[in-house]
Amino acid sequence: MCKLYVKKLPHAADLPLPAYMTPEAAGMDLFAAVTEPLLLPPGDRVLVPTGLQIALPAGFEGQIRPRSGLAVKHGITVLNSPGTIDADYRGEIKVILINLGQEPYTITRGDRIAQLIVSKVEKASIILCEELPDSERGSGGFGHTGK
């Protein structure tokens, strides 16, 4: 288990810290630190503040992912899903939400807007080569294996 250091900014002082909602949950819910209700019309996107800054240990990343309930009930999702928070980033976490639904959606203070997943990162060593090793798939593209 890694240690996640969290700093609350003044505009989130009364909001909960990120929290796992069940003992086996993979993601922690993040809360909207908006100061007034924010209307998100269909097709629009908005950057929603959480009022949090974090420090991840080297070798870890934060992934911002949609909440399934918002997606299925309202068509609200995270636009750059999963969003990545690098271990050396110290700014406020903000979530890019988009409304893919048919109705306007209102984000209010304290709404659970996304999930934060902390994950190990493996660094790759780049090796320039003239030919790649063979594989069963080869250069087959999208849908090449059927439906």
Report the pLDDT value the prediction gives residue 21, as an integer from 0 to 100: 93
Report the pLDDT value the prediction gives residue 137, as an integer from 0 to 100: 81
| pLDDT digits 0-9 by tens, 90-135 | 999 999 999 999 999 999 999 999 999 999 999 999 999 999 999 8
Length of the chain: 147
Domain locations along the chain: 5-120
Residue 100 contacts by C-beta under 8 Å, 6 or more apart in sequence?
Answer: 42, 43, 75, 76, 77
Q: 10 Å Cβ neighbour count for 125?
A: 4
Report the pLDDT value the prediction gives residue 139, as an integer from 0 to 100: 79
Report the pLDDT value the prediction gives residue 6, as an integer from 0 to 100: 97
CATH superfamily of 5-120: Deoxyuridine triphosphatase (dUTPase) (2.70.40.10)
pLDDT bucket at 56, cuts 50 / 70 / 90:
very high
